């Protein structure tokens, strides 16, 4: 291998998986006896995917990885790194990556670096950065990397339950990619907070401080966005923040927070604009001239004014990225990448070439980064970009083939999961016939707590 610096490292192929069953949020509102619109308008959610006891973190990651390999005819000996980002932990020692090796080892492909990366919803991004850094490093041996991000987000009965979801994303990373990562502009904000955490190892459910969680998310966004803008201006003095970006994608705990986040970005642009230019660029917002970022996380007036101001920006730059989030729910680590998939399928390859996106990744506790991706200029028939978009379109179309499950049945499935979270030996009772073809599922857990999987044909 020539050791020159590689160019245009990024995503060559993507694959997404979500469960074949969902609960409708309108029906869930009625079932939970809450005000109509609480989940659909208040949270911005329409459908929530969920897993029965037939699926776990290993099975969903196996499913999405196998799909990526099959659809892109990947030679397993051509993969030098495989890393998993997840916060769905069912073993304190053995990583999810080790289960994924079952697909590689049978072909004798065992020289593969990488293990699991964990910090709430940020693990997928950390794994992705590790893969990119590996390709750009002196350790690189010329092979490609794969990143898998997957989670099953479940909450106990109550107001947090409708913000659950489940899914997995797999990405193929290599040079000369159709989606290229910008160099030198990643902006991170890392600090300590108890906003959302899972200290009880006997339960799947997190501890959540809802109000603190929103404050942490928005303050992380402020910090990352302002640092990102500063780094961008160092490279391009004409960088105008949000107006210079074709798309802005966010980790989506629920869709309404994303809309508020885009308004927050506009508020930051407003504060970063010299006083004398504000009225022309932000007409009618001068009453906020003296406002401070840190005092406005729950300021309804600021939120409302900037949501109104940024409405068209949201429609153009962010809303197309929320299709999966609205219809699947919060997938945790894959959430941001589900946003990327959603944006890509909302446009034709012609509309996407040469575009620049900013992406904001957030994981509670807390870890966050804003970075940017450029879409390559090659849109010839059969180009890498066209292949990538056609492939993810195929996966997203499965949203329409899912089965709706009534809330009582969904609640029963959740109860079975909760009661058997630590049961061994165990044979799952969830149906196999409802799974999409090609889905891996749990066959049994033996008395030594070893798990066995099969794949639905």
Active-site annotation holds for 87: yes
Q: How far is CA 263 from the centre of its chain?
A: 20
**Full DSSP string of 280-323:** HHSTT-GGGTT--GGG-TT-HHHHHHHHHHTHHHHHHHTGGGGH
325 vs 43: CA distance, rounded Å: 11
Strands 451-455 and 207-208 turn out to be: unpaired
121: annotated active-site residue: yes
d(C-alpha 230, C-alpha 222), whole Å: 12
In this structure, what DSSP letter does residue 402 have?
A: -
Among residues 251, 303, 376, 386, the one annotated as catalytic is: 251
Q: Which residue(s) pair with 10 in the sheet?
A: 174, 180
Give per-residue burial for 273-307: e unless 16+ CB within 10 Å, then b: beeeebeeebeebeebeebebeebbeeeebbebbb
- Tokens 């994924």 map to which residue? 100
The 3-state DSSP composition of the chain as helix, strand, coil percent (nearest 5) reads 40, 20, 40
Structure tokens at 370: 């804003």
- Residue 47 labelled as part of a binding site: no
Asked if 341 and 317 touch (Cβ cutoff 8 Å), the reply is no
Provide the β-strand partners of residue 287: none
Active-site residue, selected from the candidate residues 51, 61, 83, 121: 121
Chain CA centroid to CA 85, Å = 10
Residue 303 appears among annotated catalytic residues: no
Q: Evaluate whether 360 touches 37 at the Cβ level (below 8 Å).
A: no
For the chain, the farthest-separated pair of C-alpha atoms sits apart, in whole angstroms, at 72
Residues forming a β-bridge with 153? 165
Question: Binding site annotation covers 304?
Answer: no
d(CA 178, CA 176) in angstroms, rounded, equals 7
Paired tokens of 345: 């399928």
Q: How many residues does the chain have?
A: 457
213 is in an annotated binding site: yes
Cβ contacts of residue 299 below 8 Å, gap of 6+?
Answer: 291
How many CA within 13 A on the CB side of residue 164? 29
Using alpha carbons, list the distances in angstroms from residue 34 to 156, 161, 304, 347. Answer: 16, 13, 24, 36
Q: Is 17 helix (H, G, I), strand (E, B) or coil?
A: strand
Q: Looking at the annotation, which residues are catalytic?
A: 87, 121, 251
Residue positions in the annotated binding site for CoA? Answer: 213, 256, 260
């Amino acid at each position: 291998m020539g050791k020159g610096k590689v160019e245009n490292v990024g995503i060559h192929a993507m694959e997404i998986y979500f469960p074949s069953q969902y609960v409708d949020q309108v029906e869930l509102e009625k079932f939970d006896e809450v005000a109509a619109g609480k989940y659909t308008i208040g949270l911005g959610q329409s459908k929530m995917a969920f897993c029965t006891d037939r699926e776990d973190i290993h099975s969903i990651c196996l499913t999405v990885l196998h799909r990526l390999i099959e659809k892109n005819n990947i030679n397993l000996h051509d993969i030098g790194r495989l890393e998993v980002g997840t916060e769905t932990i069912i073993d304190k020692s053995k990583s999810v990556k080790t289960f994924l090796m079952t697909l590689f080892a049978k072909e004798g492909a065992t020289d593969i670096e990488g293990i699991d990366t964990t910090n709430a919803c940020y693990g997928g991004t950390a794994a992705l950065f590790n893969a990119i850094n590996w390709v750009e490093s002196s350790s690189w041996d010329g092979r490609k990397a794969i990143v898998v991000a997957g989670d099953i987000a479940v909450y106990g009965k109550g107001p947090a339950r409708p913000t659950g979801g489940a899914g997995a994303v797999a990405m193929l990373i290599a040079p000369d990619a159709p989606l290229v990562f910008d160099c030198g502009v990643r902006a991170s904000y890392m600090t300590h907070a108890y906003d959302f955490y899972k200290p009880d190892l006997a339960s799947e459910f997190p501890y959540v401080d809802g109000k603190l969680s929103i404050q942490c998310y928005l303050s992380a966004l402020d910090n990352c966005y302002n640092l990102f803008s500063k780094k961008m201006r160092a490279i391009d003095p004409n960088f105008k923040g949000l107006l210079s970006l074709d798309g802005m994608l966010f980790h989506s705990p629920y869709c309404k927070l994303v809309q508020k986040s885009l308004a927050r970005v506009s508020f930051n642009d407003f504060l970063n604009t010299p006083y004398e230019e504000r009225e022309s660029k932000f007409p009618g917002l001068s009453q906020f001239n003296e406002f401070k970022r840190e005092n406005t996380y729950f300021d309804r007036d600021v939120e409302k004014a900037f949501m109104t101001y940024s409405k068209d920006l949201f429609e153009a730059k962010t809303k197309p990225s929320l299709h999966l989030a609205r219809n699947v729910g919060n997938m945790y680590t894959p959430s941001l990448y589900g946003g990327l998939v959603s944006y890509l399928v909302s446009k034709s390859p012609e509309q996407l070439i040469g575009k620049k996106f900013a992406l904001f990744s957030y994981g509670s506790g807390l870890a966050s980064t804003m970075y940017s991706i450029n879409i390559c200029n090659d849109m010839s028939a059969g180009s890498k970009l066209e292949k990538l978009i056609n492939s993810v379109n195929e996966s997203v179309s499965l949203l329409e083939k899912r089965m709706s499950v009534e809330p009582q049945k969904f609640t029963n499935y959740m109860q079975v999961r909760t009661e058997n979270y630590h049961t061994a030996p165990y044979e799952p009772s969830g149906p196999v016939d409802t799974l999409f073809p090609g889905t891996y599922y749990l066959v049994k857990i033996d008395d030594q707590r070893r798990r066995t999987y099969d794949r639905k044909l």
